[in-house]
A and B are shown apart, each in its own frame.
Chain A
Amino acid sequence: MLDHLEEKNSGVVLTVLGPIPTKELGVVLIHETLLSVYPGAEYAPEITIDKSEIFDRLKQQMLDFRRAGGKTIIDNSGMFHGRDIKLYETLSKTTGVHIVASTGLGPELMLSGYFVTPQKNPPTPWSAEQFSALFAKEVTEGIAVPRIERSSSAGIVTSIASQTGITEKETSLFRGSAQAAMATGVPVSVQYGADAVAELEILLGVGIAPGRVIIGGLDRLDAVERKDAFAVARHGAYVALDHVGWATNEGYVNDEQRVQLIVELFNQGLGDRVLISTNAVGVAKGHKAKDISYDYLLTKFVPMLHRAGLTDEQVRILLEENPQRVLTVDASAEQKVTGWNFEWDKLYQPATY
């Protein structure tokens, strides 16, 4: 407990506006998406991408969240699903909401040719080590703004496994994500595929501490039935019940059942491993997204937690202490944030003739 306190006092979290003291995070939504673009949709003539409109819609939802008492949103969309770091910087400045951006890729279906069929013979898909190096640089040197610059650091590494079962390429992604997180001190957050515990073990297999791992999607029907949340928490990893507001017809338990699950986790002494979020998409392009806003959790779900008997302190643990602890950069990690120092020559390779 003492080291937790110490982390809390001296630690930092990497936001899109730079490192900030952990204690400034306030109430955190640990698993959300700001702009989500199905990879390639930006090239489709039927998709319009109007940044001013996207900005307005995100801004409104973030202000609603802030008004409800929220302070920080984690964008978990990874590096290749619409992430617009410059837009997020402006949004954070405009709304006062802290944003932590993510690096990472997945599931396999969302991977592009560069990672799956590289231009060499044979076209061996990327290894965990290759993914790890790519992701780690987005933490230490900053998020890639394609072919222009590096921006602020990613504060979390994220991935997703296929619900039909984690694939070979996703196993490389998971391992690479965990390696990058371990090397840089940020947490790794995944949505499990079919077997949460086995996939947690894949992550732990690279040597990362369980307390640096978030397993998401554990409020999915099959996971709740298997009591995966308890098993994951007993491993010491974080349990993300990150589909608050979702329901059985979408494959998740409903909010009443979710509340019961949280109560039960606290009763078993696992409350300090639980995270909650809504997996909302602020603006979706090229795909459908559930209609839920960032303020739902605070305005609708938290009152349900209180009615179920959770104390203010327990709610604070869920919304503040747990996410703050897991997001705090492990200062003992080997690779430090150096940032990109705006010497263009260091960023660009010479063109060959």
Chain B
Amino acid sequence: MGKVNTVLGPIPTEDLGITAMHEHIGFGLPGCDLDTQWWKKPEEAFEVTLQKLRRFREHGGKTFVDCTGIGNGRDIEYFQVLSRRTGVNIVAVTGFVAADSALPYFRKQSVEYLTDLFVREITIGIDGTDAKAGAIKVGVSRGGKLNELDKRIYRAAARAALMTGAPIITHLCVDAQTSIDIFNEEGLPLDRVLFGHADDGGYLDENRDNLIADLGGWVGFDTIGYDSEVEGAPYWSRPRQDRVDHFLRFLKKGYLDRAVISADANCCALGWPGLKGHSVNYLFEEFLPDLRKAGVGEEVFQQLLVHTPAKILTMREPVKPKSLSLERVQV
């Protein structure tokens, strides 16, 4: 069927298995490394992370997509070790969680530079390794609207997605029309975009969910487990049952084949407290049981966790972006 880039090299799509599409080994905003309040013993962080990934395997999980952007804690060699030690495929991304988490050096760059950077990380390798990115991360900065740099990054991501066949995964889908317009202008089909965090408690909009699905995009219910009932829940949390009901309504509208589920959990958070007890395993231990109680069948889970991720992650045939001249592509 095709191939997917993981940190240990390309794998056949058939080997993806149960896949969590939006997760983090560890995320931190750039600069957090200077603040010792977040420092953890490396051996402890390693152990916590291994335990969570191993439990993921025990639940049948096979592939973990790490959506940590450049400079936010993305650590390719660490991911490689974790993958070797646990047997979990780890897919790394190129790109940025959002413009406001991009470092100053990248904030000043052009669409062309950013396109080249993303293409390079997908086709040659990341941070001097030969580990290639399997998806492109983009996102909306704080404030709920794409800012100028967000837009530059989205446009570059669209071009890189066309040139490499890799999909785009977004952080937030608020201000969806602006991003859809950019993808349309660049000629990127929306079935190459996972519009993430549709279930974020701060930015709920079911009409937007419908719009994305109707246009062929993927709608991410991928902050699952950030339940406001939990002590220390961050600002994007929401009541557990509200999320379940939101998701069930989405399925009832016939959008099962446009839906993605993931937890956006940190195995071991880098620059924020994380949410105690939260991990990718919430999907298997809490969310699927909630759905089962509501009468959702195993074939639906198969679709959500295996078939849909495979469709998204499988690299497409590269195409020339319409924005680029012929000379450029030949180079």
Q: Please give the residue numbers on chain A whose beta carbons come within 8 Å of chain B beta carbons, in ascending order.
A: 38-41, 43-45, 79-80, 109-121, 123, 134, 137, 144, 146-147, 150, 286, 344, 347-353
Contact = CB atoms under 8 A, between A and B. Distances in A.
A113 B127 CA distance: 21
Contacts of A134: 34-35
B122 to A, nearest CB: 12
B38 interface: yes
Contact of A44 (B105, B268, B272): B105
Interface SS majority for chain A: loop
Contacts of B39: 147, 347-349
Interface string B93-120: 0000000111111110000000001001
B165 to A, nearest CB: 20
Contact of A353 (B32, B128, B202, B276): B276
A49 to B, nearest CB: 10
Contact of B45 (A39, A41, A112, A351): A351
B271 interface: yes
Given A144-B34, A344-B41, A123 B104 contact: no
Nearest to A109: B104
Given A117-B100, A353-B48, 9 more contacts: A40-B71, A43-B103, A43-B105, A112-B104, A114-B28, A114-B34, A121-B235, A347-B39, A353-B276
Contacts of A117: 29, 100-101, 141-142
B196 to A, nearest CB: 16
Contacts of A40: 30, 70-71, 102-107
Interface residues of B, number: 51
A68 to B, nearest CB: 34
Given A39-B30, A351-B44, A114 B35 contact: yes
Contacts of B44: 348, 350-351
B274 interface: yes
Contacts of B279: 353
Contacts of B101: 113, 117
B41 A351 contact: yes
A66 to B, nearest CB: 31
A237 to B, nearest CB: 28
Contacts of B117: 44-45
Contacts of B141: 117
A31 to B, nearest CB: 21
Nearest to B276: A352
